[in-house]
Amino acid sequence: MIRLAVTSGKGGTGKTMVAAALADISAVPQVLADCDVDAANLELLFEPRRLTTEEFRGLAAARIDPERCRDCGICADHCRFGAIVRRNDAWEVDALHCEGCGVCTYVCPMGAVLMEPRVCGEIYTSATDRGNLAHARLFPGSGNSGLLVTEVKKRAASLADGADLLLADGPPGIGCPLIATVSGMDAVLIVTEPGVSALHDLERLVTVCRRFGVRIFVAINRFDLAEDICARIEDYCREEEILVAGKIPFDPSVIEAVRNGRPVTRKESPATDALRELRENLFSELGLR
């Protein structure tokens, strides 16, 4: 099975549009993973039927036991994150700010601070007409999205029996969720667009992906909006020996498809043609038929 992640240097480049299009036209047995857990929306495009729902517990958070607390305030003095606050004449942990470092449990002379697991989101498996999908929802204000991505990938792997392709819609950027997504993948398709900052983001993303030994491909979305910068992106890819597997033109049908919550490839259009060509190039490089 080939594990392929679709990523981008920043949000808004059309990454999910490309991932959804590949999922829609892949024509190989596949399992899908929505690793963009901070803004998961593959499920909006594929009308999944929910199979399982699980709580996601992230790192523990502190809680003060009011029965044992003697109101000395030592814990608040030592909390570097300002998470221990005074409310209703008592010390309390503000869970939104607690980073789970545990210092308060160490300094409290009364043993009044407990570390407890906190529910940060939910993990789902679902069936779609384009294969099984592992996805998740992170509750507002919750962290640990890298940990959640790892859990989503594990669920996707557990659904992958008989699949030739694990296709992940990755997060934008180069942070912890991206690293959790790329780790263990065979290949990464970076979706970029012609812009000076997008080129800079692409360079940073390539540097990070290279550390994981994955094959790297690039797709340039809306390439015809600034052909001079598009040429610079292609020059950069040539120098780095990265295949530009596809170039997708600006196409109002993409906006219409996004508005209607459908993969763009459900209708014939210049973008659909370009996405089919991208799929051919990419899958042929990856040995997928």
Which amino acid is it at 132?
A: N
Among 53, 56, 48, 54, residue whose Cα is nearest residue 133: 48
Q: Which residue, 84 or 274, has its beta carbon nearer to ligand SF4?
A: 84
Q: What is the x/- site pattern for ligand SF4, positions 111-130, by CB under 6 A?
A: -xx-----------------
Beta strands in the chain (DSSP E): 2-8, 30-34, 49-57, 61-64, 84-87, 90-93, 113-116, 119-128, 131-138, 165-172, 187-192, 215-221, 243-248
The CB-of-117 to ligand SF4 minimum distance in angstroms stands at 13
174 is a site residue for ligand SF4 (CB under 6 A)? no
Least distance between ligand SF4 and beta carbon 175 (Å): 20
Q: Tell me the torsion sign for CA atoms 106, 108, 111, 116.
A: negative
Binding mask 93-112 for ligand SF4 (x = CB under 6 A): x----xxxxxxx---x-x-x
Largest CA distance in the chain: 70
Nearer to ligand SF4, 70 or 211 (CB): 70
Q: How far is the CB of 88 from ligand SF4 (least distance, A)?
A: 14
Judged by CB under 6 A, the chain residues 74 through 93 that form the site for ligand SF4 are: 74-75, 79, 81, 83-84, 91, 93
Residue 103 CA to residue 164 CA, distance in Å, equals: 47
Q: How far is the CB of 195 from ligand SF4 (least distance, A)?
A: 38
Report the DSSP pairing between strands 49-57 and 113-116. Answer: unpaired
Q: How far is the CB of 139 from ligand SF4 (least distance, A)?
A: 17
Residue choice 62, 152, 209, 220 for contact with ligand SF4 (CB under 6 A): 62
State yes or no: residue 70 binds ligand SF4 (CB under 6 A).
Answer: yes
* Secondary structure (3-state) at 19: helix
What is the C-alpha to C-alpha distance for residues 182 and 134, in angstroms, rounded to an integer?
16
The least CB distance from residue 92 to ligand SF4, in Å, is 10
DSSP structure string for 205-231: HHHHHHTTT-EEEEEEETGGG-HHHHH
Please report how close the Cβ of residue 91 comes to ligand SF4 at its closest, in angstroms. Answer: 4
Binding status of residue 209 toward ligand SF4 by CB under 6 A: no
> CA 162, CA 28: separation in Å to the nearest integer?
10
Kindly determine how many residues on this chain lie close enough to bind ligand SF4 according to the rule CB under 6 A: 26
Q: Which stretch binds ligand SF4 (CB under 6 A): 42-50, 63-71, 198-206, 225-233?
A: 63-71
Those residues with Cβ within 8 angstroms of residue 15's Cβ, 6 or more apart along the chain or in another chain: 6, 7, 8, 36, 169, 170, 172, 191
User: Residues interacting with ligand SF4, by CB under 6 A?
Assistant: 62, 64, 69-75, 79, 81, 83-84, 91, 93, 98-104, 108, 110, 112-113
